[in-house]
Amino acid sequence: MNGHGTHVPFNERGGPLRGLLDLAAGRYPAFLFGGPIDGFLPVFHFHGVTPEWLEPRLQYLADHGYRTVTSDAIARLAIDGVHPGPNRVALCFDDAWASLWTVAAPLLRRFGFTAIAYAIPERIGDAHTTRPTLDDGVADAGAADRSREPFVTWPELRRLHDAGTIDVQAHTWSHAMIFCADRLTGFVTPEYAASPLLARPLLSVDGRSRFQEVAELGAPLFVQRSRMSDGLRFLVHEPIRQRTIEHVASHGGAAFFERPGWKRELARLVSGQTRGRHETPEQRERAILDELDRCRAVLTERLGSAGIRHICLPWGVAGDVTRQALRATGYRTAFSNQMKGSWAVRAGDDPYRLKRLNSKYLFRLPRRSRNSSTGRA
């Protein structure tokens, strides 16, 4: 598909059909169905967590003799064929939400585990102090993900890194979603507030990233893809955006969406207009290189770490341009949700196409009582 397509490619989408195809192709490891782990290394991903949700999963790992590994061990298996040993798993916390600091790290320490956190420097703020954690007796430690600073702060991430509990790695500079076509898909309504924060599209062109704001009621929305896809970004003309935003503001704001025919009314404002333009392939390449290179540089500087060598790509999307850029910027491994490969890491896997399992599958790991629980390296 070229950069001007109006549909998101199948390999960038999930859903039941994708799951059925993966099942038919044998991409799910046997231990999910009661079989042995064999030479696989299960890698599970998490996002924001609460104590009530995370503790039983860590308890399960402890009860059945599992130990955790970090990014370099994953790379040694995929690239060098060196398995970390039986009963090893990796735990990945995407986005570095605030609960990584308030909930996950305290629980990981209690169980003697480590984890990998894929951080987004553009989303991380500075702070004078660190927030209270589960160890401090916070009643609702998971609420930090819903605060004004929903992600860890730099002081918190630095302390997690220095303590060795968390192996901090890259999740691109801004975790950006972009418009990729001029096909209108909708408008920002009051319900847009419930949309995932990290799925709101990038609007700015230069300087600090600016994303679609919930308060910009009436703003037009177009077909979206990950910045790390091969899609060419569609740059919306600002007068088009302002026309619909101002129309809603002058006709009641949120109440505008209670009137019948509001969608047709807004669509008429943008119909027949030149809605914007696409970036060039060269601009796409520079933007992707910047997302990768700046992320690594800033994490290295802010954490005083020389170990930022691994990345998880947002939504598992990695186009051909991104894979070339990964090599150019020196990353050793990347997790990406591509059609090829199995949903666990094994020797010989393409280091830029590694795949992980949803944390819901963690309880499928063999129990200590099974003969297969020892695994085979």
Question: Based on the domain organization, do 216 and 339 belong to the same domain?
Answer: no
Instruction: Please enumerate in sequence order all residues whose Cβ is within 8 A of that of 129, keeping only pairs 6 or more positions apart, or say none.
Output: 155
Residue-level pLDDT at 25: 72
Other C-beta atoms lying within 10 Å of the C-beta of residue 331: 21
- pLDDT digit string (tens) for 271-311? 988 899 999 999 999 999 999 999 999 999 999 999 999 99
Where in the sequence is the domain holding 148, given as residue range(s)?
15-173+289-374
Question: Based on the domain organization, do 81 and 196 belong to the same domain?
Answer: no
Question: Based on the domain organization, do 145 and 268 belong to the same domain?
Answer: no
2 in a structural domain: no
Question: Based on the domain organization, do 253 and 146 belong to the same domain?
Answer: no
205 in a structural domain: yes
- pLDDT digit string (tens) for 148-179? 889 999 999 999 999 999 999 999 999 999 99
Q: How far apart are CA 207 and CA 215, in angstroms?
A: 21
Whether the Cβ atoms of residue 295 and residue 121 lie closer than 8 Å to each other: yes
Question: Based on the domain organization, do 263 and 303 belong to the same domain?
Answer: no
Number of domains in the chain: 2
CATH number at residue 321: 3.20.20.370
Q: How far apart are CA 344 and CA 364, in angstroms?
A: 13
Q: How far apart are CA 159 and CA 176, in angstroms?
A: 26
Strands 333-335, 234-236: pairing kind? unpaired
Q: For the chain, report the end-to-end CA distance as a whole number of angstroms.
A: 40
Question: Based on the domain organization, do 43 and 121 belong to the same domain?
Answer: yes
Strands 166-170, 177-187: pairing kind? unpaired
Question: Based on the domain organization, do 192 and 330 belong to the same domain?
Answer: no
pLDDT along the chain (377 residues), means of 10: 57 73 81 93 97 98 98 98 97 98 97 98 95 85 75 97 97 97 96 97 87 97 97 95 97 97 96 91 97 98 96 96 96 87 92 95 87 38
Strand runs labelled E in 13-73: 43-46, 67-68
242 in a structural domain: yes
Question: Based on the domain organization, do 162 and 57 belong to the same domain?
Answer: yes
Q: How far apart are CA 120 and CA 170, in angstroms?
A: 7
6 in a structural domain: no
Question: Based on the domain organization, do 149 and 262 belong to the same domain?
Answer: no
280 in a structural domain: no
341 in a structural domain: yes
Question: Based on the domain organization, do 151 and 267 belong to the same domain?
Answer: no
Residue-level pLDDT at 19: 76
Question: Based on the domain organization, do 66 and 126 belong to the same domain?
Answer: yes
Q: Helix/strand/coil (H, E, C) string of 120-177?
A: CHHHCECCCCCCCCHHHCCCCHHHHHHCCCCECEHHHHHHHHHHCCEEEEECCCCCCE
Closest CA relative to residue 172, chosen from 122, 232, 235, 116: 122
Whether the Cβ atoms of residue 311 and residue 292 lie closer than 8 Å to each other: yes
- pLDDT digit string (tens) for 50-76? 999 999 999 999 999 999 999 999 999
Q: Which residue has the tokens 């004004």?
A: 148
213 in a structural domain: yes
Could you give the angle at the alpha carbon of 142 between the alpha carbons of 139 and 146, nearest 5°? 120
139 in a structural domain: yes
Question: Based on the domain organization, do 268 and 131 belong to the same domain?
Answer: no
Q: How far apart are CA 96 and CA 157, in angstroms?
A: 8
Ramachandran angles phi, psi of 69, nearest 5°: -130, 165
Residue-level pLDDT at 342: 85
